[in-house]
């Protein structure tokens, strides 16, 4: 297998680690008296962020997963989102924290929050490692945010381009024109 060209670093491994530790301390503090917290990771991109965050929390909590996909109109995202795989846990009267890797247009997080709120939890908050403020179309609150970033194609730490670069330990930037990846196929998810 050919070696991959390494994307340019946007956020280093050590900056990510420090930020995840800070977020974990804040979440642990805020939910200390709230009863058991349920983290819901959004597949696939959030799996590495969630794995690091959950191991740093100092409070009792449980973990579940949900998978979503965007509907497409030709090559453009339409903004509509569909549920691919639901959580196993019941949410009634529970404190829920959605864990996302990135908020781009905001459609996914907005859809997910509305969907989960309708199930009668005690609360629903949001945690995202990355947000692109210049791309937001739906202004959904991010209660625990890692970093605001510019509008670039970012990969690593769970994020992919055409299913490549997900396991980079840092957040890197690629030029999709110059990257030899297979084309991103959002329809497969």
Selected from 7, 41, 106, 172, the binder of ligand PRP by CB under 6 A is 106
Q: Cβ closer to ligand PRP: 59 or 87?
A: 87
Q: How far is the CB of 166 from ligand PRP (least distance, A)?
A: 8
108 touching ligand PRP, by CB under 6 A: yes
Give yes or no for residue 101 binding ligand PRP (CB under 6 A). Answer: yes
- The SS3 of residue 49 is helix
- Please work out the total of residues on this chain that contact ligand PRP, with binding judged by CB under 6 A: 16
What is the spatial distance between Cα 139 and Cα 133, in angstroms, rounded to a whole number?
Answer: 9
Q: Examine residue 115 and tell whether it contacts ligand PRP (CB under 6 A).
A: no
CB of 181 to ligand PRP, least distance (A): 13
Whole-angstrom distance, CA of residue 47 vs CA of residue 98: 12
Annotated active-site residue in 52, 64, 104, 179: 104
CA 109 to chain centre: 9
According to CB under 6 A, which one of 97, 144, 160, 161 is a site residue for ligand PRP? 160
Please confirm, yes or no, whether 52 is among the known catalytic residues: no
Neighbours of 145 (CB within 10 A): 16
Whether omega for the bond prior to residue 178 falls within 30 degrees of 0, making it cis, is no
Asked whether position 149 contacts ligand PRP by CB under 6 A, the answer is: no
Beta strands in the chain (DSSP E): 8-11, 37-43, 61-73, 76-85, 95-103, 123-131, 144-148, 153-155, 171-174
31 vs 24: CA distance, rounded Å: 11
Residue choice 19, 44, 61, 119 for contact with ligand PRP (CB under 6 A): 44
Q: Which residues here bind ligand PRP, judged by CB under 6 A?
A: 42, 44-45, 70, 100-108, 160, 186, 189
């Amino acid at each position: 297998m050919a070696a991959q060209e390494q994307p340019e670093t946007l956020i280093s491994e050590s900056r990510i680690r420090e930020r995840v530790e800070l977020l974990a301390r804040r979440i642990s503090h805020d939910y200390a008296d709230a009863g058991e917290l349920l983290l819901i990771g959004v597949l696939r991109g959030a799996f590495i962020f969630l794995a690091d965050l959950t191991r740093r929390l100092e409070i009792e909590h449980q973990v579940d997963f949900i998978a979503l996909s965007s509907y497409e109109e030709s090559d453009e995202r339409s903004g509509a989102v569909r549920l691919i795989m639901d959580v196993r846990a019941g949410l009634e009267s529970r404190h829920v924290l959605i864990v996302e890797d990135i908020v781009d247009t905001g459609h996914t997080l907005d859809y997910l929050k509305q969907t989960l709120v309708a199930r009668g939890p005690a609360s629903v908050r949001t945690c995202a490692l990355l947000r692109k403020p210049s791309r937001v179309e739906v202004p959904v609150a991010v209660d625990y945010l890692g970093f605001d970033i510019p509008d670039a194609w970012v990969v690593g730490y769970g994020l992919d381009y055409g299913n490549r670069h997900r396991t980079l330990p840092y957040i890197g930037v690629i030029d999709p024109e110059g990257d030899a990846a297979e084309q991103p196929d959002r329809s497969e998810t």
